[in-house]
Amino acid sequence: MERMKRNPAAWGMILGGAIAMIGSLFAWITVTNTQSGSDTRVTAFDAVGTQTLFLTAVVLVLFGGAVLMSSGKGRIFWALLGLIAAGVILAAGLMGIFAPETLTTRFVKSQAFAGSIGGTAVPTTDQVKAAFDAGTLTAKMGLGAIFGVVGGALGVIGSVLSFGTPKQPV
């Protein structure tokens, strides 16, 4: 129990990962086909890219727990891994807010790669970019991207603060 009190910054990593996991239940982006008027909401269970973000949030929680439980130099290793995971979540969330077309293209690229392994046909990133340029597709941010930014930022702050020397129990 004392180790759990020793490094309270690690709780930022755990809470940040939990917030990002909750955000994965909401749509990160909504893609609209302007010709047909149909909307596609991309949640954690719809595409390989969003599934990866969900798993990255799970790993962030685990890294935060590892920082809490470790002592000495081990916490720096786990905090560094947590910083990388939180940074990925934060970057994806910011991209979902400020450049949803780019995030959509990245999701399509990862989905196309996974589809090529499984033999499923998926549009290429060039086709998606062309559709955005032509105005056939539009993308806007979803609530999940906001959760991603909050969770990622909290994870980054917790990770960075975990590099410092933890307080010694009294």
* Spatial contact of 30 and 144, defined as CB atoms under 8 Å apart: no
pLDDT of residue 149: 97
pLDDT-based confidence at residue 151 (cuts at 50, 70, 90): very high
Single-letter code of the amino acid located at 119: G
Q: Is the pLDDT of residue 169 over 80?
A: no
Q: Are 30 and 139 in contact (CB under 8 A)?
A: yes
Who wins on pLDDT, 18 or 165?
18
Sign of CA dihedral 38, 44, 46, 49: positive
Q: Is the model's pLDDT at 125 over the cut of 90?
A: no
Please give the residue that has the higher pLDDT: either 118 or 124: 124
- CA 28 from centre of chain: 10
Task: Give residue 42's pLDDT.
Answer: 79
Is the pLDDT at 168 greater than 90, yes or no?
A: no
pTM score: 0.86
23 — alpha (psi -120 to 50), left (phi > 0) or beta? alpha
Q: Mind listing the pLDDT tens digit for each residue in 60-116?
A: 999 999 998 887 778 899 999 999 999 999 999 999 999 999 888 888 877 776 665
Nearest to 90 by CA among 158, 137, 139: 158
Q: Residues 8-60: pLDDT tens digits? A: 788 999 999 999 999 988 998 888 888 888 888 877 677 777 888 999 999 99
